[in-house]
A and B are shown apart, each in its own frame.
Chain A
Amino acid sequence: MLQNVDIDIHHLTRVEGHGNIVVNVTDGTIETCEWQVPENPRFFEAMVRGRHYSEVARITSRICGICAVGHTLASVTATETALGIEVTPQTRKLRTILKHAENFDSHVLHVYVLVAPDLFGAQSVFPLIPTHGEVVVRALRLKRLGHEWGSLIGGRTTHPVTVVPGGFTSLPSAADLAALRERLLGAVPDLEATVETILSVADKLPAFDRPTEYMAVHEDGQYGLFTGSVETILANGDRARYDIEDYLSITNEFMLPQSTAKHTRNRLRSYAAGALARFNVNYDQLHPEAKKVAEALGLAPICTNPYMNSVAQVVECVHAVYESIRLIDELLEDGLKDEGLVQPTRFGSGISAVEVPRGILYHDYSYDENGLCTRANCIIPTNQNHGNIQADFEDLVPQLLESGASEEDMALKLSMLVRAYDPCISCSTHYLDVTFVR
């Protein structure tokens, strides 16, 4: 067993934004074991105050370039609740297809680009091109499908423009939906190959179990995405159901000195949100084809290994494809109708809970009689997972020390653990930094 460990991973790579891993062990005693988040708060809630309800989603969509659909849906849904707007079944179905597109797109990116390099022993996807070129090409093919699937419904995937309070500003044509259906069916072989790829490296996923509370949006009739209630499940199967309106008493936000991001807790000291939480809470509502894939991948509820979140994401990709095909069939059978936008019936307060790739996203607004926003609150899923990552660290580090793991192996396992949660801490920068050579 190592007596002295000094791990200081400043700005962990292959996660969205900035987070640090700090572990110090001196003479066999763990002195520091922390998941630190040094990002600045961004105050979007202040930016939407005073803005008309028709503008709010356009602003909050810009919170994230990966989860722009989720922020749009959360914003529009909360606004519709506040304004007494009941959207049509057609709108709900189209939004569900759009939500599936975002989760699919993000999960493919996470599993293939951010997680797979660890499983193949590489630093990034680049070293995989000569050795696993077909896997990288497949990843980009699936990624492109997710991007174009979302663009068809949302006008564009990033910052969708067609989703507004009351419905859609424009609809895809029946021919476009039929073509999308064929493309989704055509992706099945790639999904089957994805399962084979994951199985080929499954032994690289660390065996680590730590029971916690799993939280997800739940509907009795379908896999919860953005309507219904919030449900949590413990490892012993004990369930609790909450109204979305009670989100503040479910999340119980608090601060810790090591982090600028808020943490949350509910029944235990922390809880998990995201694909694995959804899988554990909503397994019964998964599409049968997704259940088959889960079984093939050795994933069964209630799974308490956080590293399996990436596997749950693959299961959700399969669910997203088959559920979208089912919804497209229903839409085509009923015939797409230009329904116009449902208008407000009142101005008040409204709350939404939407399952974005990393977990539950809450939006909460109040509007005055002129339709201007007077108050807003957003709670993002990554913040809900910080406390659980920290609790995982506190269990995992002693286990790794006890097992005689090297410092390098410990650093890798801790990095993989954080990546498994697919954290989206904040947007970093993209600017070019170049020297002219001609």
Chain B
Amino acid sequence: MRYLIGIGTYMGLDDSIGLRIAEEVAARGLDRGFRAIELPGNLLDLLHYFGPDTADMLVVDSARMGLAPGEYRFFSPDDVVTRKSLEGISTHEGDLMKVFELARELSVTVPPVTLMGIEPATIVPEMGLSRALEERFGEYLAAAAGFFGAERAR
């Protein structure tokens, strides 16, 4: 199985971008050959999609990467180090990198994972998206769904 996993929170303005992409990909029936899943709230649920039956995974999330707001990039978890400093892992104030760390420490089979990071313009406790991300939403959808098409063609 192949997965597109959107993470974030609907209440964080641009932090909702991953959820909105996963939701819209499924709603438009773009999820051909893969499953689109929203994972708000609890990042630990990502572990349920790890394992030998998972061929690969695209995780879509807002990411502060030092790019211009709205810009996006595909990268591997191994390409980056986190700047977040959390005591551990919690259910809400999470860090995706901690989930990968937990999986490795527990010897869980981690499938090939690609991250699609989208630079947020604003992360505040509001519903919706900033204009910078809203204007490029269609582009993100095509890129996220296209990832699987491109991967299939390889």
Contact = CB atoms under 8 A, between A and B. Distances in A.
Contacts of B115: 432
**Residue from B48, B82, B84, B102 with most neighbouring chain A CB atoms (10 Å):** B48
B129 interface: no
| Dominant secondary structure of chain B at its interface with chain A | mixed
B15 A434 contact: no
A427 B40 contact: yes
A123 B85 CA distance: 13
Nearest to B7: A430
Given A17-B92, A124-B89, A431 B63 contact: yes
B93 A109 contact: no
A158 B94 contact: no
A202 interface: no
A21 to B, nearest CB: 16
A12 to B, nearest CB: 10
Nearest to B10: A62
B117 interface: yes
A37 B79 CA distance: 38
B15 A429 contact: yes
A114 B106 contact: no
A136 B102 CA distance: 10
A17 B64 CA distance: 21
B65 interface: yes
A433 B8 CA distance: 13
Nearest to A144: B48
| Dominant secondary structure of chain A at its interface with chain B | loop
Interface size class of A (residues with CB under 8 A): 35 or more
B47 A431 contact: no
A125 B101 CA distance: 12
A174 interface: no
A436 B80 contact: yes
A142 to B, nearest CB: 11
Interface in A121-143: 123-126, 129, 133, 136-137, 140, 143
A434 B82 contact: yes
Given A426-B11, A428-B92, A434 B106 contact: no
Contacts of A158: 38-41, 45
Nearest to A147: B48
Interface string B32-56: 0000011111111101100000000
Contacts of B37: 156
B154 interface: no
B65 A42 contact: no
Interface residues of B, number: 57
B142 interface: no
**Residue from A126, A430, A438 with most neighbouring chain B CB atoms (10 Å):** A430
A338 to B, nearest CB: 23
Contacts of A427: 9-12, 40-41, 92
B152 interface: no
A47 B83 contact: no
Nearest to B82: A434
B80 to A, nearest CB: 4
Interface in B69-126: 75, 78-84, 86-98, 101-102, 105-106, 108, 115, 117, 120, 123, 125
A126 B102 CA distance: 7
A129 B106 contact: yes
Contacts of A429: 8-9, 12, 15, 93, 123
B40 to A, nearest CB: 3
Given A65-B40, A144-B47, A426-B125, A433 B9 contact: no
B41 A13 contact: no
Given A429-B15, A432-B61, A13 B90 contact: yes
Contacts of A42: 11, 125, 127
A434 to B, nearest CB: 4
A437 interface: yes
A436 B65 contact: yes
Contact of A433 (B7, B45, B83, B92): B83
**Residue from B12, B45, B47, B75 with most neighbouring chain A CB atoms (10 Å):** B45
Nearest to A67: B41
B64 A433 contact: yes
**Residue from B11, B63, B105 with most neighbouring chain A CB atoms (10 Å):** B11
B116 to A, nearest CB: 11
Closest 4 CB pairs of A and B: A124-B88, A65-B41, A65-B40, A432-B63
Given A429-B15, A430-B94, 4 more contacts: A124-B90, A129-B106, A432-B65, A432-B80
Interface of B: 7-12, 14-15, 37-45, 47-48, 61-66, 75, 78-84, 86-98, 101-102, 105-106, 108, 115, 117, 120, 123, 125, 127
20 contacts: A13-B87, A16-B91, A42-B125, A109-B44, A113-B90, A124-B87, A140-B47, A140-B108, A144-B48, A148-B48, A429-B9, A430-B94, A431-B14, A431-B123, A433-B63, A433-B82, A434-B63, A434-B80, A435-B66, A435-B83
